[in-house]
Structure 1
Amino acid sequence: SLLSLPGKGRVSWPIPFETTILGSPQIDTDGGVIDGNTIKWSTSGLKTVTLTVDDIVSRAQIEILDLPGMAIDLPQQVLAGTPVQATLPEHLLSSEVAFEVLRDEGVAFIHEEGQAEATFIFPERDGSYDLNVKATDDVFGEIYQNTQVEVTGSGFVPVIGQIGTDEATGCNRISWSIPTELPAPLQPGTVRIYRETAVSDRYELLGGRSAVGTV
């Protein structure tokens, strides 16, 4: 071929082209801008470059791609020490892409290769934590995406306030209080009460109720 281009390129990035024709051929770039031996397109899509000199015409095509989405769908706030499920962006699942998740100290990342689902476990310390996704491939090179997550509710646990007998039923009655104010999305829906058995560190479930209430 008298004209050659790579198969894929990225928007607003100079794409090198090669030609074996000497002289000054006419080049139709399909909307691209020539700078030396590179062409840059500002829009994505399949582009056709046509080179003409005298009666000779040569064409080559290239697919121009937008930068892929790299954001991980984590909530902005999470409860300290709680595992959080997340779906990785599709770009990271390609066999042509190598990626890593750079994390602040104490943040765990659990993921099986090729799977879209991943688990993050944040420290049991309140604070703001950064996750930086780094992806590398032949088309986009190295690209990064930062995600910041606020961890709150460190030390959160319902505290048993009173144990007594319910006058109406004669059953044991346990009341508790929530010692920490949490944002509404992080409020627990249910409190479960366990009793230690005769075996050390083994417990049996007595019951569960709304986080605001008694059992």
Structure 2
Amino acid sequence: MAATSANRLQNQIALITGGSSGIGAGVAKAMAAEGASVIVNYAHSADEAAAVVKEITDAGGQAVPFQADVSKEDDVLAMFDFIREKFGTLQILVNNSGIQVDAKFVDMTLAQWQKVIDVNLTGQFLCAREAAREFLRRGPQQDISAALGKIICMSSVHEVIPWAGHVNYATSKGGIMLLMKSMAQELAPHKIRINSIAPGAIATPINLTARDTPEEEKDLLTLIPYGEVEESLPQC
């Protein structure tokens, strides 16, 4: 059955990491609306993940939550085992999990540095590696997609724009950019499609403390690099 404009992801299984809030929640709802069965991954916020799942299922979509810390290899392996047991395979990974732990450079601890790198960058590596392994194990499904599988890496404009006071975050996003490009180069011969998205500032829980005054929000808006910016941050 050919997909329609309102059902473009019919019969596809999509994993959205960090899917319980912010951009991840928005992606989960949008993919479910296009017909995908969605796994809403979360690390801590079970209630928020349940709310996203309920919104999707109330609208007639399919979604399940799954708790996993993407920075931990055992958690990621367990999540992919669950996906195979529940759905048989996976067609789409949206590598979205990300955190900020902000500090001045000279005050930043190794723990603050490592936590952000572990979640934002190592987490993307672990999930993408398991997704690629699953795509290769499963083989082509031409009736579902021309691609063997799809991976979307959620990055940030700070993959190219320096951000004083957030060196761990900016470094993790710069790493994602070359992780995505290198994966795309290596996996393209297998028809695995790799892309990344690098949003500007969007009002989500991750940046709440960086925009809790009008002055701070104005500073964030100056970091959006293209054209005229809006008077307030877009919501997600």
After TM superposition, the score normalised by the length of structure 1 is 0.30
Structure richer in strand, relative to its length = 1
